[in-house]
């Protein structure tokens, strides 16, 4: 998976604002717009040109930013454009990215300016990832593409989060834990050290994974137990 060392983000010299489209005109989209404002207050970087969403919002403007259309409209824009996908569901976010096929679209990586990330931490971050306020990452961590870390999440040493993982507020991932593609951690969910969570699995709010979880399941509770498997009557 394509990744950037965080130091690469520091080294980029961008003399002018970069045009940015936000796909997702709901609550998360408005939170991402707030994140962009917070970034720009410290280091002017982004010019938000519009919201896109396949569902037309109730108004033609969201917090002062115009609604400009659907995925199809975004694909038919003609100028180079950065995009961030503000969709909380791992599965749905991946589906949107799969439909954004225009070659002039590139994915923005958004990190709240108060999140401490220095080259000595050896953190790798994939394109399109979003790290919001209050998150803590320690050292030797790998985040794939389009990873979402909502408010106040923590990631321990040597953890790996593959593409399209989604962490809701105050989720915690222990050292050497491994989250496969599309894992979704609910609010206050915890994955303990060295635990592996299979692809597309959901760990419900407040759940604690103390042992490995298989792919394509939903687990809840403390310790977390599987209550649903995709394609199973469990």
Query: Does 223 sit behind a cis peptide bond, omega within 30 degrees of 0 on the bond before it?
Result: yes
- Give the pairing of strands 202-203 and 208-209: unpaired
What is the distance between the alpha carbons of residues 112 and 42, in angstroms, rounded to a whole number? 10
Q: Is the pTM of this model over 0.85?
A: yes
Per-residue pLDDT tens listing for the chain (234 residues): 445 555 455 444 545 899 999 999 999 999 999 999 999 999 999 999 999 999 999 999 999 999 999 999 999 999 999 999 999 999 999 999 999 999 999 999 999 999 999 999 999 999 999 999 999 999 999 999 999 999 999 999 999 999 999 999 999 999 999 999 999 999 999 999 999 999 999 999 999 999 999 999 999 999 999 999 986 544
- The one-character DSSP state at 56 is P
Task: For residue 120, count CB atoms less than 10 angstroms from its CB and return exposed for 0-12, middle for 13-18, buried for 19 or more.
Answer: exposed
Residue matched to tokens 């989720």: 171
Alpha helix ranges (H) inside the chain: 6-11, 27-42, 71-75, 90-99
Q: Tell me if 181 sits within 8 A of 144, measured CB to CB.
A: yes
HSE-CB at 63 with a 13 A cutoff on CA atoms is: 16
What is the distance between the alpha carbons of residues 21 and 31, in angstroms, rounded to a whole number? 14
Q: Which fold has domain 134-228?
A: UDP N-Acetylglucosamine Acyltransferase; domain 1 (2.160.10)
Which residues, including other chains, have CB under 8 Å from residue 69's CB and lie 6 or more apart?
52
SS3 (DSSP) at 142: strand
Give how far Cα 51 sits from Cα of 21, 147, 153, 207, 224, Å. 6, 20, 26, 34, 37
Q: Give the model's pLDDT for residue 15.
A: 56
What is the distance between the alpha carbons of residues 123 and 78, in angstroms, rounded to a whole number? 34
What is the distance between the alpha carbons of residues 80 and 102, in angstroms, rounded to a whole number? 10
What is the distance between the alpha carbons of residues 213 and 191, in angstroms, rounded to a whole number? 10
Q: Which fold has domain 3-111?
A: Rossmann fold (3.40.50)
Spans of all domains in the chain? 3-111, 134-228
Sheet holding 172-173, edge to edge: 136-137, 154-155, 172-173, 190-191, 208-209
């Amino acid at each position: 998976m394509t990744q950037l060392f965080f130091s690469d983000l520091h080294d980029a010299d961008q003399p002018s604002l970069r045009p940015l489209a936000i796909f997702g005109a709901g609550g998360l989209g408005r939170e991402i717009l707030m994140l962009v404002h917070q970034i720009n207050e410290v280091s002017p970087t982004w010019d938000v040109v519009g919201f896109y969403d396949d569902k037309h919002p109730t108004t033609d403007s969201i917090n002062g930013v115009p609604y400009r259309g659907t995925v199809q409209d975004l694909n038919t824009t003609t100028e180079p454009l950065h995009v961030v996908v503000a969709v909380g569901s791992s599965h749905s976010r991946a589906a949107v990215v799969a439909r954004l096929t225009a070659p002039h679209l590139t994915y923005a990586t958004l990190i709240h300016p108060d999140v401490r990330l220095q080259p000595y931490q050896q953190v790798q971050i994939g394109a399109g990832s979003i790290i919001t306020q209050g998150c803590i990452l320690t050292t030797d961590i790998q985040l794939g593409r389009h990873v979402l870390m909502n408010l106040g999440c923590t990631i321990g040493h040597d953890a790996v989060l593959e593409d399209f993982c989604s962490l809701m507020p105050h989720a915690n991932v222990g050292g050497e834990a491994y989250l496969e593609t599309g894992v979704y951690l609910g609010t206050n969910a915890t994955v303990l050290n060295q635990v592996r969570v299979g692809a597309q699995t959901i760990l419900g709010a407040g759940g604690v994974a103390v042992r490995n979880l298989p792919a394509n399941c939903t687990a809840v509770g403390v310790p977390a137990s599987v209550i649903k498997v995709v394609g199973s009557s469990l």
